[in-house]
Chain A
Amino acid sequence: MASKKTAQKTLSLAPVLDLNEATALHEKLLALKGSDIVIDASAVERVGALCVQVLMAGAKTWEEDHLSFTFSKVSDAFEKTTQLIGVEIDHLVAKEI
């Protein structure tokens, strides 16, 4: 992973990740395809299932591309929501960064 750090890009998530944001988030992620990505979810105040779907699809895509897809920081709301809906993100939350 360390070798790829040069190509790493960061995506900061918007505070409100609702229905309207899903498409925008999808586009943002697609644009970042092909390089390691670090997602900053520290500002997230609320997140809906659709955006979680987009993020998880992203994680899956990045995994297939053998690139790293990690959350640098997650807000309490983000963490709780993913817990609530049974989406495991622990393994994506980067501890070494």
Chain B
Amino acid sequence: MDMNEIKEIFFQECEEQLAELESGLLKLNDGDRDPETVNAVFRAVHSIKGGAGAFGLDDLVSFAHVFETTLDCVRSNRLDPGPEVLKVMLKSADVLADLTNAARDGGSVDEARSRQLIKELEALANGEVPQASAAPAEPVAKPVAAAAPPPVNDEGFQPVAFSFDDFDAAEEPPLMEMPTYEIVFKPKSDLYAKGNEATLLLRDLSRLGEMSIHCDMGALPTLDRLSPESAYFFWKISLKTDKGEDAIRTVFEFAEWDCDLEISLIEDEVAQPGEELPMQPVPFDLSILDDEPAISVGVVEEEEQLASRQQDRDAAVAAAATASNVLQMAQSATRAPAEKAAPAASAAAQSAAAQQAAASAATPTIRVDLDRVDRLINLVGELVINQAMLSQSVVENDTNGTSSINMGLEELQQLTREIQDSVMAIRAQPVKPVFQRMSRIVREIADMTGKSVRLITEGENTEVDKTVIDKLAEPLTHMIRNAVDHGLETPEKRLAAGKSAEGTVRLTAKHRSGRIVIELADDGAGINREKVRQKAIDNDLIAADANLSDEEIDNLIFHAGFSTADKISDISGRGVGMDVVKRSIQALGGRINISSKPGHGSVFTMSLPLTLAVLDGMVVTVANQTLVVPLTAIVETLQPEASAIHSFGANQRLISIRNSFCPLVDVGRILNFRAIQANPVEGVALLVESEGGGQRALMVDAIQGQRQVVIKSLEANYTHVPGIAAATILGDGRVALILDVDAIVAASRGQSLKPEMSLAAAG
């Protein structure tokens, strides 16, 4: 594995850490004060810093370092994460993400911004330092110097470098004797399970100074009740050292989440509680143990890692970190806990380990190249087609006594269906990462426009195909920008309208009848229909006397080249926003819809297929052509009676269904399969729900059946055909076209099926 691959993995992990960081900060922002949340945030920054150091990404390291220092203050309750603090932190998270991206793709970052944030972070870190009051000027200056850029060197890894405690300890030695620490170390069973060894930790601890130890065996049961791999011993240690508390913590760095650790400085020798216990002095000569790099390891891999612990102390940090990364990757393949990674090697390993420990309940996962999954999905698609073909040929050649074959085929069908579902599930991912990205966009736009915005996300664990997720980010970004820039009013206007100064943007994802529905709602002013209408008239999009419903006016904003912003801003208003959004959503086989209430805001609703690979469809015949209608669109099917059909206008027809009229759409006519309208009584009507909410009855000649079809893109294999969403291969090997119901419905409103016109018609 070469360096670039390792680096790529580092960046992948960075992305995860950044997501973790952001969600943690947002939780804190919502008032969550769980120490584990703070820890998670800290770990994320810490591991990015560690990894970045290994690759010599100095900008990233120095920023992460300062950020981490401030977070450490929060972690140790020296800094209260109030709204102002979190604002700085969220911005810092954004800059950290920028720096990571710049490091990966070679772009540049806004240096002024990161410098400013470094200053703010340092101010936060120092503002609450306990020493500040005791000795105002001098002691405070030192940690700042340690934390400030220019980029910290490799030593930046050692928590000692930025610790205020360390500073505290360093001040004291000249005044009194070496300080004594009382340490209570209670390993959990996990500590051993993850290949850590208490004896090694204690040995390292003893090297820091003069140590006495008491092993508490109170919890130790008798042999028959003993679980040999559980932790029963715990230790009370008294350690005289001038290395400071942080040096002690460093010893336990990799076990921190698998043990309870209390470290307290004993000011007064007399009051030392440890004296009550029979303390056993630990001899200095432990050299014999040094020859045993790994006391309690079983697997060769672990041995290597622990062995490297020794060497890594001296080795260049970068090299060591690389080694650890390699080991980590080996582990990610085997899912051995990351704890085992070479301890001194890199902070990245440590944090990953910590995270593992924190989320030890999480199910194991593996990272797989998307291409491989896609290949599998393709193959399964072929399998489904093949199975359908096989079934069909058996049916066609059906002779007597083939029931066993039929039964076998049925089982095969079920199996292929299950395989397909399982494979699809592999690709399914929660929309969370995309939603998280939106919160940053909201923050930035809010900053630029001087608006105060709160983004509320719901249903972020809703799963949808990875392709859909990937393609969702861009339109969603456009829409969020629009919502904040155009949708929400300025704080003054909001207050004047009797609303709170802070605007709310709500992003919701949910599953609804086999599709994912994403809603973006703002509580702004809503669409100014007069303005939209006027603009549309000015731009010759509609006739001046056109009679449009509110819904139709709202949908005008999806027209190409339409923008109501008086001034073209940086953020939105170039007039390329919403039509692009609509097109990308449609390209995904989705629909987008808007509803707006003046004064109360707008709601954009996107409905997308869960997968772009298969579809449950109704196979129908239209003018001797086989078509597939997506099942999700169909409300009901019916056989029209002559009495229910009513002519309307020149060549429009309505069908009366349960006392309401519904336009009848002849699919064959719209797709130009036939020149004259078919007789409705001879066919079947499919009642479909269209994007705008209205119902249409699609006329087809006959229904062949209902089946799951594998979607083959027409665009990729042929070219886009208006009114057709995609194609599929049927059991008999023929290609069947999948109907784009919305386009058909739109076309039925009087427009012909031309791409741009169908867009306009839908709008």
Which A residues fall within an 8 A CB radius of B? 17-20, 22-23, 25-26, 29-30, 33, 45-54, 56-58, 60-61, 64, 76-77, 80-81, 83-88
Contact = CB atoms under 8 A, between A and B. Distances in A.
B220 A47 contact: no
B228 A18 contact: no
Interface majority SS on A: helix, strand, loop or mixed? helix
Given A53-B232, A80-B286, A85-B199, A18 B206 contact: no
B220 A53 contact: yes
Interface in B205-253: 206, 213-215, 217, 220-224, 226, 228-229, 231-233, 235, 237
Given A19-B297, A84-B286, A49 B233 contact: yes
Given A18-B295, A19-B195, A86 B226 contact: no
A45 B296 CA distance: 11
A48 B295 CA distance: 6
Contact of B224 (A18, A49, A61): A61
B215 A86 contact: yes
Contact of A18 (B279, B280, B296): B296
A50 B296 contact: yes
Residue from A23, A54, A57 with most neighbouring chain B CB atoms (10 Å):
A57
B601 interface: no
B192 A19 contact: yes
Interface residues of B, number: 41
Contacts of B288: 76-77, 80
B644 interface: no
27 contacts: A18-B295, A19-B193, A19-B298, A22-B229, A25-B228, A26-B226, A30-B223, A33-B223, A47-B295, A48-B296, A49-B192, A50-B296, A56-B220, A57-B223, A57-B232, A60-B217, A60-B222, A64-B222, A80-B283, A84-B202, A84-B203, A84-B282, A85-B202, A85-B235, A86-B215, A86-B282, A87-B217
B198 interface: yes
Interface of B: 187, 192-193, 195, 197-199, 202-203, 206, 213-215, 217, 220-224, 226, 228-229, 231-233, 235, 237, 279-280, 282-283, 285-286, 288-289, 292, 294-298
Contact of A54 (B226, B231, B296): B226
Given A60-B220, A84-B206, A49 B228 contact: no
B292 A45 contact: yes
A13 B221 CA distance: 21
A81 B199 contact: yes
Interface majority SS on B: helix, strand, loop or mixed? loop
Contacts of A30: 223-224
Residue from B215, B231, B279 with most neighbouring chain A CB atoms (10 Å):
B215
Given A26-B223, A84-B203, A49 B280 contact: no
Contacts of B195: 19
B231 to A, nearest CB: 8
Contacts of A52: 199, 233
A50 B229 contact: yes
B229 A23 contact: yes
Contacts of A87: 215, 217, 233
A25 B223 CA distance: 11
Contacts of A20: 298
A87 B232 CA distance: 13
A56 B224 contact: no
B192 A50 contact: yes
A45 B295 CA distance: 9
Nearest to B298: A20
Contacts of A86: 213-215, 235, 237, 279-280, 282
A45 B206 CA distance: 20
A54 B283 CA distance: 24
Contact of B198 (A18, A57, A60, A85): A85
Residue from A33, A64, A85 with most neighbouring chain B CB atoms (10 Å):
A85
Contacts of B187: 49
